[in-house]
Amino acid sequence: MFWPILACYACWIAPSMGWWFPFTGPTGMKAASPLGERIDDLFYMILYITTVTFVGTQVALGYVLFKGAAATDEGNTEKAWYSHGSHNLEVIWTIVPACVLLFIALYQMDVWAQFRIKDSFPSETKRGAIAEVTARQFEWRIRYPGLGPDGKPLPLMPKPQPTDLYTVNDLHVTVGTPVMIILETQDVQHSFFLPELRIKQDAVPGLDIPVWFEASKSGEYTLLCAELCGWGHYKMKARMVAETEDKYLEFLQSLTKSQNYDGVPETPAAEAPVATTAAE
Amino acid sequence: MSTVDPAIVTAPGHGHADDHGHGHEHHGSFWTTYVFSTDHKMIGKQFLITTLLMLMVGGALALGVRWQLAFRWEAMPIFGQLFPAQGGQISPEFYTMLVTMHASVMIFLVIIPILAGAFGNFLIPLMIGADDMAFPILNMLSYWFMWPAIFCFGAAFFSAGHGAAGGWTSYPLLSALQEAAPGSGMAQTWWLFGLTFVGFSSMMGSINYMTTIINMRAPGMTLFRMPLTIWSMFITAILQSFALPVLTAAGFMLVSDRMLGTCFFIPSGVVVNDTNPTVGGGQPLLWQHLFWFYSHPAVYIMLLPAMGMVSDMLACMSRKPIFGYKPMVYSMAAIAGLGFIVWGHHMFTSGMNPALGMTFMVSTVMIALPSAVKVFNWIGTLWGGRLVFNTVMLNCIAFVSMFIVGGLSGIFMAAVPVDIYIHDTYFIVAHFHYVLFGATLFGCFGAIPFWFPKMYGRLMNEKLGKLHFILTFIGFNGTFFPMHLLGVSGMPRRYADPYLHPYLEHLLPMNQFMTCCAILMGFSQFILLFNFFYSRKFGPKCGRNPWNANGLEWSAPSPPGHGNFESVPNCFRGPYEYSDPNHSEDFWLQTDQPVKRGENPPPPAATH
């Protein structure tokens, strides 16, 4: 009896000990994306069903063991129950689990379609990808489109452009709206994993895969690799920063500035050098 | 399907009429007795001992993994002396080798050979009343081929990179391009050769088992009088024969990509480690489809025989018939059949066509159904029984209990959206260890003492058996149950140092606890080994039927001589006639003559 009790206790204290869904990010105990929240809901639904089944079957097992042990107590010479089975029971315990399982399968299809079927992507992603994320051994290289003359990001082109901006291990997105990235890999397979948002997609050599997600709250989130890619698989540590539209544009502007920095110090009175740089 | 023609009498075995028909007590040399033996019992015992030793090797590799996760970058005691170049430390590339080889050894050199090679070989002819396998020489070759396999996997250790490091799943391009990882050089090629040899061994075995079961059953042994062990071995052999060629072909294609310049799996333009861009034209996902098309049936290959054996042992130790014999047979067939159409559930996040995610989800979720039916039937078998709580029974109860956990955790990953999150995390690791270790291996730990008396004519020690059980059970649950929590916390697999990531730092104490439990569990296996080898020589002798069981094997001497039975056995009833109210004993051998109404029954056939 000790071990089941210990296991129950461990499960009870699990969330407070941090042995549960990651909640070190800004959203606390909730998943950090709407899709993630739906995934968590599905997880909990399955957890309830399997817990009921688990308790039921283990208690039944314990009960028959207990009764069976008593049957061999001193003085009890009764033979075991000579039964080859029960047709009715077989029918019941085939049909009922089949219905439950089919329900679980069909109930989930919506969420999957939303995540992966392009026609079901949120309409905001139809504007195009905001960045191209290329995984390589052992880092994440991110290519953003440059800023246009109006200060807004240009469309991301499939091929690298002179205006493109690059970071390593630092993915910025706008918060509160679905964004889409194009996931690629330069060498072997990797996997784009945002644990707090519950997003994962393998990066396959030769494929450009659109991945969309929505960060619910501003903050810094973990990005890491989830497909064995060599000895440095564990150290592909990166961050995903979700921020407001203004901060996002500020970030791109600072990237532009450092990319275009040519070593010539800015003189306070001269406006023209800045304009020239922006026009490039 | 033809059964044995009753008019043909197979030659009576020249095992002596007494119970000491030792298979190896004829005056042959070491070579004829052991190396060139075509006796299925000898080959079965050879498989058993080889796989038990490989179990220790695989376990040691796992302890290396657990050491790194608990005490990262510290020198490993005892085993650290084997890799002095790094001061006993486990480097990141060594870690990837450890996870790869732990899985490869356990799957290909332990679980599959122990179920099919050891127990399948030993039990099939005995339980169906045949004098040997249909193809004894092929049988001998299937054991021989294990040794080149072991040699190839071992050679990988001594190659550059200290062993294949692409995971046991060996996904290209990590495994296809030699520059992709230190272990992707010659070591990976050795690994692929090892895989091919194991594949040949299994395929040879599967042909043998199917033919023997279909053609060589004793008179009266209809298909539905076969013990569930035989049904499980039969269905497993069908799985092996249909699925393995796909893996072998995929292995050849990968070797070809590595050594002959083909590009089955290599797309164009890939640059790894400053090499020239690849010529390409191939698809990495193709490997995943081919690999998992075998490897998913493989997991049922690694489960069904244990299910069959546990059914037999539970019926015997409960002194009751199996609850729902035909549903049990149909469930095993359903598991096998459905097992061929679920392979994509390993690839939900892989980038394959998302519509496949829907189809594979439905088939995967449905495969839980026959497994559930079997669990209910096992509980039904125990219900109302007179239970004998010996080592065999304890291990079988653990099988049922742990299989419930492993089966239920599988439902989470069958659900595609949930799998998006838990794929490649420790949740998956927990699931498959619960079904492979918690179920299959505990089933083997029960089968070994159950059939040991038939193999060696002696009993294993009960006290040591129970001690081994309780320590293994505690260590197992302590090691693997927390992995469910680690997985939900988002800890990825195959990470040499997960604590580099702040959201995982707090999981270190739990990992240390798990490592301590793993060390306890690992060293407890020495109790089993000691019990096994000690009892072979010094265990108490026993007669033909120490467990008062019903199968045909229990009417043969312990151990049986060549030819197994003194004369062709006849089968008169099913294998689970325990506690028949109209019968004086609480068991009824399948070979016992039936009784005409009003007559006195003949004396029991099994004399001690």
Chain B touched by A117 (CB under 8 Å):
yes
B201 to chain A, closest Cα gap in Å: 29
b vs e for B489-518, b when ≥16 Cβ sit within 10 Å of the residue's Cβ?
A: bbbbbbbbebbebebbeebeebbeebbebb
Please, are residues B414 and B364 in contact by the beta-carbon 8 Å criterion?
yes
- pLDDT tens for B208-248 read 999 999 999 999 999 999 999 999 999 999 999 999 999 99
Binned at pLDDT 50, 70 and 90, residue B22 comes out as very low
Tell which residue, A147, A225, A148, has the closest CA to residue A191.
A225
d(CA B512, CA B74): 13
Q: In this model, does residue B9 exceed pLDDT 90? A: no
B579: left (phi over 0), alpha (psi -120 to 50) or beta: left
B354: left (phi over 0), alpha (psi -120 to 50) or beta: alpha
Q: How far apart are the first and last CA of chain B?
A: 36
**Which residues lie below 8 Å from residue B555, measured CB to CB, with a gap of 6+?**
B544, B545, B565, B569, B589, B590, B591, B605, B606
Q: For residue A200, give the chain B residue with the closest CA.
A: B420
| Nearest Cβ partner for A82 among B405, B416, B579 | B579
Please, are residues A194 and A35 in contact by the beta-carbon 8 Å criterion?
no
Contact across the interface for A39 and B423, Cβ inside 8 Å:
no
* β-sheet with A238-243: strand ranges across: A170-174, A238-243, A219-225, A190-194, A199-203
d(CA B129, CA B308): 18
Helix axes B136-144, B146-158, angle to 10 degrees: 10
Binned at pLDDT 50, 70 and 90, residue B445 comes out as very high
| Nearest Cβ partner for B321 among A69, A83, A201 | A83
Q: For residue A50, give the chain B residue with the closest CA.
A: B408
d(CA B542, CA B454): 9
Binned at pLDDT 50, 70 and 90, residue B15 comes out as very low
A72 to chain B, closest Cα gap in Å: 6
- pLDDT tens for B469-479 read 999 999 999 99
Chain A touched by B501 (CB under 8 Å):
yes
Q: What is the DSSP string of B338-361?
A: HHTT-GGGG-TTTTS-HHHHHHHH
Structural tokens at position B352: 């394959």
Question: Which residues of chain B are within 8 Å of residue A228 when distances are taken between CB atoms?
Answer: 96, 166-167, 171, 174, 493-494
d(CA B492, CA A193): 9
Domain range annotation of chain B: 31-267+280-302, 304-542
DSSP state of A232: T
Question: Which residues of chain A are within 8 Å of residue B165 when distances are taken between CB atoms?
Answer: 230-231
pLDDT (0 to 100) of residue A50:
94
Spans of chain A, pLDDT less than 50: 275-280
Q: What is the DSSP string of B267-319?
A: -TT---TTPPPP-----HHHHHHHHHHHHHHHHHHTTHHHHHHHHHHHHHHHT
pLDDT (0 to 100) of residue B3:
33
Question: Which residues of chain A are within 8 Å of residue B182 when distances are taken between CB atoms?
Answer: 231
Q: Above pLDDT 90, what percent of chain B?
A: 72
Domains of chain A: 124-260 (2.60.40.420)
3-state secondary structure of B588: coil
Q: Above pLDDT 70, what percent of chain B?
A: 93
Binned at pLDDT 50, 70 and 90, residue B419 comes out as very high
Q: In this model, does residue B515 exceed pLDDT 70? A: yes
pLDDT (0 to 100) of residue B184:
74
pLDDT (0 to 100) of residue B118:
95
Binned at pLDDT 50, 70 and 90, residue B12 comes out as very low
Q: What is the DSSP string of B31-52?
A: IIIIIT---HHHHHHHHHHHHH
**What CATH architecture does domain B304-542 belong to?**
Up-down Bundle (1.20)
Structural tokens at position A235: 């150290």
Write down the ipTM of this complex.
Answer: 0.90
pLDDT (0 to 100) of residue A125:
87
Task: Say how many residues make up chain B.
Answer: 608
pLDDT (0 to 100) of residue B7:
30
Contact across the interface for B350 and A72, Cβ inside 8 Å:
no
b vs e for A139-160, b when ≥16 Cβ sit within 10 Å of the residue's Cβ?
A: bbbbbbbbbeeeeebeebeeee
Q: How many CB atoms lie within 10 A of CB B211?
A: 15
Q: Which CATH class is domain B31-267+280-302?
A: mainly alpha
Question: Which residues of chain A are within 8 Å of residue B397 when distances are taken between CB atoms?
Answer: 61, 65
Q: In this model, does residue B598 exceed pLDDT 90? A: no
| Nearest Cβ partner for A202 among B166, B349, B411 | B349
| Nearest Cβ partner for A200 among B182, B319, B349 | B349
Q: In this model, does residue B115 exceed pLDDT 50? A: yes
Q: What is the mean pLDDT of chain B?
A: 89
The letter for the amino acid at A102 is L
d(CA B241, CA B120): 15
Among B residues 161-180, those touching chain A with beta carbons less than 8 Å apart: 165-167, 171-174, 177, 180
Q: What is the DSSP string of B393-448?
A: HHHHHHHHHHHHHHHHHHHHHHSHHHHHHHTTBHHHHHHHHIIIIIIIIHHHHHHH
pLDDT (0 to 100) of residue A15:
73
Q: In this model, does residue B17 exceed pLDDT 50? A: no
pLDDT (0 to 100) of residue A21:
85
CA distances from B272 to A226, B267, B269, B444 (A): 19, 12, 10, 44
Question: Which residues of chain A are within 8 Å of residue B586 when distances are taken between CB atoms?
Answer: 79-80
Chain B touched by A24 (CB under 8 Å):
yes
Q: Can you give the pTM of this predicted structure?
A: 0.90
Contact across the interface for A82 and B283, Cβ inside 8 Å:
no
CA distances from B116 to B153, B204, B235, B337 (A): 20, 11, 11, 19
| Test mutation, A40, A41, A59, A187, chain B, max B CBs within 10 A | A187
Structural tokens at position B452: 């040991």
CA angle B490, A31, B513 (to 5 degrees): 30
pLDDT (0 to 100) of residue A225:
96
Please, are residues B397 and B343 in contact by the beta-carbon 8 Å criterion?
no
Compute the average pLDDT of residues B435-443. Answer: 96
pLDDT (0 to 100) of residue B605:
53
d(CA B403, CA B371): 9
b vs e for B552-580, b when ≥16 Cβ sit within 10 Å of the residue's Cβ?
A: bbbbbbbbbbbbbbbebbbbbbbbbbbbe
A173 to chain B, closest Cα gap in Å: 20
d(CA B347, CA B288): 8
pLDDT (0 to 100) of residue B306:
97
Binned at pLDDT 50, 70 and 90, residue B604 comes out as low
Contact across the interface for A193 and B492, Cβ inside 8 Å:
yes
| Nearest Cβ partner for A226 among B325, B424, B580 | B424
3-state secondary structure of B377: helix
* CA atoms within 13 Å, Cβ hemisphere of B463: 1
